[in-house]
Amino acid sequence: MRSSKIIFSQIFIGHLGYCLIISLLGVFLFANHLDNPFQFDSVGYIVNNPNLQNPSALLTLNFWLNEFFSRALLRMSLALNTHLDGFNPFGYHLFNLGLHILNALLLYFVLGKAFRYLSRNLETWENQKISFVSFFVAVIFLSHPIQTESVIYIISRSEVMASSFYLSAFLIFQYFLEQRSPSLKQIFIYFTALFLLALLGFSVKQIVATLPAMMVLYYFLGCPDNSPALLFVQKWKYVFAGFVLVGSSLLLYKLLNNESFLIGPTQADELVGRANYMLSQPSVIVFYYLKNLFLPLSLNIDPDIEVITSLTSWKFLIPSFSIILGLLSAFKFIQNRIIFFFLCWFIIILSPSSSIVTLHDLAAEHRVYLASTGIFVLLALGVVSITEQCGKNRVFASRLALFLFVFIFGFLTTQRNIIWQSEL
């Protein structure tokens, strides 16, 4: 009994230490942006927004219900900032930064549970290693310069805020799966909490629509081979595949024959067209998003992305084949459920804005805010696998690697914060 209490205390202190480092690091990296002025669309949507002249009118349940599908909760958060401190940008920046740090903390706990749930070789993964890899990913997520647009650009709060609800709901779902034999009361409480968090998140940004898919995938990947649920899916897999194929075909037909279906509020169809938008996205994913996740040296709030207009263009074919190869590799790694799940995490969360939903801009860094976690997990696993070859020095090597990543990414982030002081 005493030894178990000691182990619990050590685990608690370890979690507390990691959380403290994440929080302090977030403040340190982003402190130099808190006095940045409003930029670009933030001026129009906040400072020059006539609705925010009377912010209390937006802080009502009726407003949330009536404007639910128009990002009501996001607009209410801006109204709350205005109500508390007028148009002083400091409070808006502080709100965004607080959410970003919260997301890194939530991610740390989500990853810890995911590694335990999905790993088939858990015997080789002691608690300290699980905590360290989770911490590794969380601080890369926190410090990576591609996140600056979501954190510093106030009107991009939607991505950060929706991710808070997304990760909170996913963490609650993980807690639910840990219950051996939950009572009806517990089931009701858990699913009510899930529903409310998803509802709130959806009223910020519609990326929460991918949450059910991620939860279903997570559940089945963690099921033992003889699980009744898994056996049922395997038995009827061709029927399910048929439904998916028919549904996808009907959706594609609707998308290509109705330019006004599933477009952003800025009428993007008038700029590039639905077909050209979809043809351009493979290039955006591979040559812009993935490139900047691994080598974040060409970040831009308004990137110059070429519109692809032909199926035979090499800028469509090469990235498309690369994505297909990645998907095939994911299925090859399906026995390693962690790799498979987090590859799917990146693809599924990014998919709405990089496939069927036509938006004003072909690319925007804030769209990979939450999806980037999938790539960061693969990066962390790769680094840890390499440092494992260092024998007795593997712990030092892994921590040195983490320090170097944080130092480089952190430096680039602080420099990016300075750039955001002006629109020029």
Q: 7 or 113: whose pLDDT is higher?
A: 113
Sign of CA dihedral 106, 107, 108, 110: positive
For CA atoms 143, 348, 72, 171, give the dihedral sign: negative
Please give the angle made by the CA atoms of 373, 240 and 187, to the nearest 5 degrees. Answer: 65
In a domain, 191, yes or no: yes
Does residue 4 fall inside a structural domain? Answer: no
pLDDT of 269 reads 46
**How far is the CA of 271 from the CAs of 244, 245, 251, 315, in angstroms?**
31, 30, 22, 20
Residue 58 domain-assigned?
no
Q: Are the beta carbons of 268 and 337 closer than 8 angstroms?
A: no
Taking the C-alpha atoms of residue 189 and residue 196, their distance in angstroms, rounded to an integer, is 11
Q: Report which of residues 377 and 122 the model is more confident about.
A: 377
List the domain range (segments joined by +) for residue 351: 10-38+87-419
pLDDT (0 to 100) of residue 6: 55
Average pLDDT (139-160) is 93
Q: What is the pTM of this model?
A: 0.91
Q: What angle do CA 38, 41, 44 make, to 5 degrees?
A: 85
Of residues 360 and 90, more confidence is placed in 90
27 has a pLDDT exceeding 60: yes
Residue at 70 is within a domain: no
Task: Count structural domains, the chain.
Answer: 1
In a domain, 131, yes or no: yes
Tokens of 79: 């109204």
On whether the CB atoms of residues 101 and 30 are closer than 8 A, the answer is no
Report yes or no on 264 lying in a domain: yes
Q: 142-151, 246-255, 314-323: lowest mean pLDDT where?
A: 246-255
**For residue 74, is it within any domain?**
no
Asked if residue 15 lies in contact with residue 131, where contact means CB atoms within 8 angstroms, the answer is yes
Task: Assess whether pLDDT exceeds 60 at residue 267.
Answer: no
Whether 277 has a pLDDT exceeding 50, the answer reads yes
Q: Does residue 125 surpass a pLDDT of 50? A: yes
Is the pLDDT at 268 greater than 50? The verdict is: no
Is residue 172 situated within a structural domain? yes
Residues 6 or more apart from 296 whose CB is under 8 A from it?
144, 145, 146, 409, 412
